[in-house]
Amino acid sequence: MAILLVLLYTLFSASTIAYSAFAPFVPPDNFLIDCGADKSSILNDGRTFKTEDQSKQFLQAKEEIKVSVEKGDVPSPIYLSARIFVTDAIYSFHLTKPGWHWVRLHFYPFKNDQFDLSKATFSVNTNKYVLLHSFNMDNNTNYVLKEYLLNVTDPQFSIKFMPMKNSAAFINAIEVVSAPDDLITDDANDLTPVGKFSGLSTLSYQTMYRLNVGGPLVNSANDTLGRTWTPDGSYLKSKALAKSVTVATTVVKYPDGLTPLIAPQSVYASAVEMAESNVNNPNFNVTWNFEADPAFGYLIRFHFCDIVSKALNDLYFNVYINGKMAIADLDLSHELENQLAAAYYKDIVVNASLMSNGVSVEIGPSKLDSGDLNAILNGLEILKISNSVNSLDGEFGVDGSKAVGGIGTRKTVAVVGFAMMFGAFVGLGAMVIKWHKRPQDWQKRNSFSSWLLPLHAGDNSFMSSKNSIGSHKNNFYSSTLGLGRYFSFAELQEATKNFDANEVIGVGGFGNVYLGVIDDGTKVAVKRGNAQSEQGLTEFQTEIQMLSKLRHRHLVSLIGYCDENSEMILVYEYMANGPLRDHLYGKNLPPLSWKQRLEICIGAARGLHYLHTGTAQGIIHRDVKTTNILLDENLTAKVSDFGLSKDAPMGQGHVSTAVKGSFGYLDPEYFRRQQLTDKSDVYSFGVVLLEAICARPAINPALPREQVNLADWAMQWKRKGLLDKIIDPLLVGSMNPESLKKFAEAAEKCLAEHGVDRPTMGDVLWNLEYTLQLQEAFSQGKDDQDDGNSIATVAASPAIVPATPNASTPDTRPVSHPEETNSPAKSQATDEHSGTAMFAQFTNLSGR
């Protein structure tokens, strides 16, 4: 035993010594974050990625969600969780040492039946550099690693994720790790004109390719700097001309000044040489081709190690980039003071002006009349160089300034200096000029609507209001209704104290919602679209037309609008008690009684029933959720945020296949078939019912996995007949168990897998009214008798529950509430059938 221990110890210390000879690099800054994860992940390279909570970074995000998948085709667990942002989000780091830092962003675009991250489009900036501009995964479903090497000079370092409009940003893991100072030194060779290039240390880089030429994959476990070196085979122009050579890694020596930090031994221990170099007198090049963005310059680092020569001064060769001589007559044994198998590297800068289509690297024999005709390459790194406005993607800088040609930095300084002077003199004029300098399609390139789902966008979100669907636009023109009241901009300025930040009662992607007071002291909610909004004026007007047509006691009504000075402002009735959600959880408001909750659900159901059946075509809300059910001063429920959609699929040949909705509320069938019917609203309303009774969010990522999704979780309990175990504790004891049972049944039917199996809103409404009657009878019975046996009384006494058919058969009678409507669009549907037919038609048209 003792001998074994000694042996082990010897082995261990031997390997320690071997390592310490290369003085392993200990990064002063080492942030490894497994975004959205609930616990840290240990990789097989030994590194530990911590959760956001454990790591010392700071995340600032207004609307975000944590998501995860069980498994995926990924190399490490860090890809299985993500954080999704609907608005800008910033990770801030306090760095301890300036200089080179790796910034690695890991993306894995997983999808489930609620969202598809491969459709997300977003930009990523640091405080100084643009890393990704309008980035998306382009249908790619594989994981992606973006690696940057930034010379960070400010101890406050931040990474900002910016989703494009109607889209979202996501990130699975982040690394911010110090790199050695001498990893990139100031000097390199220019490709042409041949000469010295200096200033490399002030630029920043993105790794485009890093190859272990002639060898296998070397991953972060085999590279102390966490780099990955991929095999080169797929980039070879002709595999037949290339031959791999490999030696034992221990053969590779590092001359003075070089360490494995430049590249590990396993990279130098393999190479590609010219095939058949020893047979004929070969006269050809070995060529690798790479894709590259011609708008940028590149730093190309060649790694050589002569593992093929038998004797010194036997190998002379040339290296070309894009057909131009990069290194002529390279004699490694001369460069390395007569050593074979020693590591050597050379940096070449390619000016953007020399870039054509991609980068091509060639090696071939020298014309010098000595030695073998052969050429080798062991490793290759192609790094994109930041442009004059510190961007590594696109031509605009963090501040919106536009890049000028070349890669020098001096020019940038001059341009910025000039712009600042100009700005100081001309003030706003400079801004206008900057704007005009942008390419014509700038707006287009910056706007995307491909993201599948706007996520839950918070209270009073304007974003969600864009997700509803309107009826056929052409019919608006035949409407006899006006557009509601026209407000002048000045009027609304006065009403909102000039859009005072203190008057903001809601914030969304589309703009802010302000509390306003108009003429007679009437309070109104003023939604102001922001200047960058994509919504065109025509769509805006069309929407106003539709909205002003809808009048119902349980729909929030539009009072008027303003489109002066290309403003896009909508004025709604003010709902003093805000969203239903605030009364259920999270805001510590006085709890609602069961009866109040029922009445609110009934009100919302009436509003939706009217939307579905009350107009000629029927309108599908598309974003039913507890934040879109608002309460007035009497706790009367009104459905809000409907009809603002510019994606109305029937309008002017528009086709909308994009699934819209909110996390946790989305009809799974709608998602699968991309066909919208009124039954999708019914599904979402089922989730609202559960939220009302369980008093928890539709999605709560903080809970254990099986509890995250309210609909799934509650239905599991319902099927066991135990829904009462998870209801809001504040309700326990005050409910008629029969009323609870009926309510749970209604919710369950709404959540049926297939739309055809779900009830109409009319049925739901009817069931809820019955539930309320059961509850009222119960309360009355309780008051009268207070003997706790009232349930039996209720069940046995049809007289107390008038006009109630057998509770177990769903009633399909139409429900009419003429007293609820003050709309001249009087067509309160009285025939369920016609409503269904209309939706069938609607669906067909939307598929055009």
Annotated binding site for ATP: 527
Among 72, 294, 406, 591, binds ligand NAG (CB under 6 A): 406
**How far is residue 70's CA from residue 362's CA, in Å, rounded to a whole number?**
44
- Could you tell me if 760 and 835 are in contact, meaning their C-beta atoms sit under 8 angstroms apart? yes
Residue indicated by tokens 């009104």:
638
216 contacts ligand NAG (rule: CB under 6 A):
yes
Task: Specify the stretch interacting with ligand NAG by CB under 6 A; choose among 79-87, 278-286, 438-446, 734-742.
Answer: 278-286
- Could you tell me if 457 and 166 are in contact, meaning their C-beta atoms sit under 8 angstroms apart? no
Among 127, 201, 246, 593, binds ligand NAG (CB under 6 A): 201
Residues 716-745 that bind ligand NAG (CB under 6 A): none
- Could you tell me if 178 and 97 are in contact, meaning their C-beta atoms sit under 8 angstroms apart? yes
645 contacts ligand NAG (rule: CB under 6 A):
no
Of residues 751, 630, 744, the one with CA closest to residue 684 = 751
Q: Is the dihedral of CA 766, 771, 777, 783 positive or negative?
A: negative
Report the residue number, 185 or 789, with the smaller CB distance to ligand NAG: 185
DSSP 24: -
**How far is residue 499's CA from residue 363's CA, in Å, rounded to a whole number?**
66
**How far is residue 383's CA from residue 292's CA, in Å, rounded to a whole number?**
10
Q: How far is the CB of 198 from ligand NAG (least distance, A)?
A: 10
Q: How far is the CB of 201 from ligand NAG (least distance, A)?
A: 3
**How far is residue 463's CA from residue 507's CA, in Å, rounded to a whole number?**
9
Report the residue number, 218 or 746, with the smaller CB distance to ligand NAG: 218
Task: Specify the stretch interacting with ligand NAG by CB under 6 A; choose among 218-226, 709-717, 735-743, 805-813.
Answer: 218-226
Q: Report CA-CA distances (Å) from 146 to 175, 524, 565, 691.
A: 10, 48, 43, 40
Residues 335-354 that bind ligand NAG (CB under 6 A): 351, 353
Count the residues of the shown chain that bind ligand NAG, applying the rule CB under 6 A: 28
Of residues 838, 478, 462, 471, the one with CA closest to residue 648 = 471
Give the containing element (helix H, strand E) for 263: none
Report the residue number, 264 or 686, with the smaller CB distance to ligand NAG: 264
151 beta partners: 100
| Structure token digits, residue 335 | 């460069």
- Could you tell me if 466 and 644 are in contact, meaning their C-beta atoms sit under 8 angstroms apart? yes
518 beta partners: 522
Report cis status (omega within 30 of 0) of the bond before 193: yes
207 contacts ligand NAG (rule: CB under 6 A):
no
Among 55, 285, 391, 739, binds ligand NAG (CB under 6 A): 285
Residue indicated by tokens 């959760």:
51
323 contacts ligand NAG (rule: CB under 6 A):
yes
Report the residue number, 260 or 560, with the smaller CB distance to ligand NAG: 260
Report the residue number, 44 or 313, with the smaller CB distance to ligand NAG: 44
Residue whose C-beta lies closest to ligand NAG? 201
517 beta partners: 523
Catalytic residue among 29, 331, 623, 678: 623
- Could you tell me if 111 and 150 are in contact, meaning their C-beta atoms sit under 8 angstroms apart? no
Site map (CB under 6 A) of ligand NAG, residues 773-802, x = contact: ------------------------------
| Structure token digits, residue 90 | 């910033």
Among 222, 387, 390, 460, binds ligand NAG (CB under 6 A): 222
Q: How far is the CB of 407 from ligand NAG (least distance, A)?
A: 5
Told to judge if 623 belongs to the known catalytic residues of this protein, a careful annotator would answer yes
Q: Report CA-CA distances (Å) from 422 to 415, 416, 435, 462, 700.
A: 10, 10, 14, 37, 51
3-state helix, strand, coil in the chain (%, to 5): 30, 25, 45
**How far is residue 671's CA from residue 549's CA, in Å, rounded to a whole number?**
29
How many residues comprise the chain? 848
Task: Specify the stretch interacting with ligand NAG by CB under 6 A; choose among 124-132, 403-411, 522-530, 791-799.
Answer: 403-411
Among 1, 20, 26, 138, binds ligand NAG (CB under 6 A): 138
311 contacts ligand NAG (rule: CB under 6 A):
no
Among 284, 345, 422, 717, binds ligand NAG (CB under 6 A): 284
Which residues carry a binding-site annotation?
A: 527
Task: Specify the stretch interacting with ligand NAG by CB under 6 A; choose among 158-166, 277-285, 632-640, 713-721.
Answer: 277-285
Of residues 628, 624, 639, 622, the one with CA closest to residue 675 = 622
Among 191, 307, 382, 407, binds ligand NAG (CB under 6 A): 407
Task: Specify the stretch interacting with ligand NAG by CB under 6 A; choose among 9-17, 400-408, 756-764, 768-776.
Answer: 400-408
Site map (CB under 6 A) of ligand NAG, residues 408-447, x = contact: x---------------------------------------
Among 281, 283, 634, 806, binds ligand NAG (CB under 6 A): 283
* Residue 27: Cβ within 10 Å count: 20
266 contacts ligand NAG (rule: CB under 6 A):
yes
Among 364, 470, 579, 664, binds ligand NAG (CB under 6 A): 364
Report the residue number, 250 or 565, with the smaller CB distance to ligand NAG: 250
CA dihedral 208, 213, 215, 218 (to 10 degrees): -30
280 contacts ligand NAG (rule: CB under 6 A):
no
**How far is residue 691's CA from residue 708's CA, in Å, rounded to a whole number?**
13
* Residue 334: Cβ within 10 Å count: 12
Q: Are strands 511-518 and 156-163 parallel, antiparallel or unpaired?
A: unpaired
Residues 691-710 that bind ligand NAG (CB under 6 A): none
Q: How far is the CB of 294 from ligand NAG (least distance, A)?
A: 13
Site map (CB under 6 A) of ligand NAG, residues 81-120, x = contact: ------------------xx--------------------
- Could you tell me if 257 and 251 are in contact, meaning their C-beta atoms sit under 8 angstroms apart? no
Report the residue number, 139 or 440, with the smaller CB distance to ligand NAG: 139
**How far is residue 789's CA from residue 732's CA, in Å, rounded to a whole number?**
16
Query: HEC profile for 505-534?
Result: EEEECCEEEEEEEECCCEEEEEEEECCCCC
Report the residue number, 11 or 837, with the smaller CB distance to ligand NAG: 11
231 contacts ligand NAG (rule: CB under 6 A):
no
674 contacts ligand NAG (rule: CB under 6 A):
no
Task: Specify the stretch interacting with ligand NAG by CB under 6 A; choose among 214-222, 334-342, 576-584, 811-819.
Answer: 214-222
Q: How far is the CB of 187 from ligand NAG (least distance, A)?
A: 11
- Could you tell me if 547 and 473 are in contact, meaning their C-beta atoms sit under 8 angstroms apart? no
53 beta partners: none
151 contacts ligand NAG (rule: CB under 6 A):
yes
Report the residue number, 233 or 408, with the smaller CB distance to ligand NAG: 408
DSSP 814: -
Among 52, 116, 147, 362, binds ligand NAG (CB under 6 A): 362
Residues 179-198 that bind ligand NAG (CB under 6 A): 181, 190
Of residues 550, 574, 576, 545, the one with CA closest to residue 561 = 545
Report the residue number, 188 or 765, with the smaller CB distance to ligand NAG: 188
Which amino acid appears at position 372 of this protein?
D
218 contacts ligand NAG (rule: CB under 6 A):
yes
Report the residue number, 363 or 761, with the smaller CB distance to ligand NAG: 363
Residues 508-567 that bind ligand NAG (CB under 6 A): none
| Binding positions for ligand NAG, rule: CB under 6 A | 99-100, 138-139, 151, 153, 181, 190, 201-202, 216, 218, 221-222, 266, 283-285, 320, 323, 351, 353, 362, 364, 405-408
Q: Catalytic site residues?
A: 623
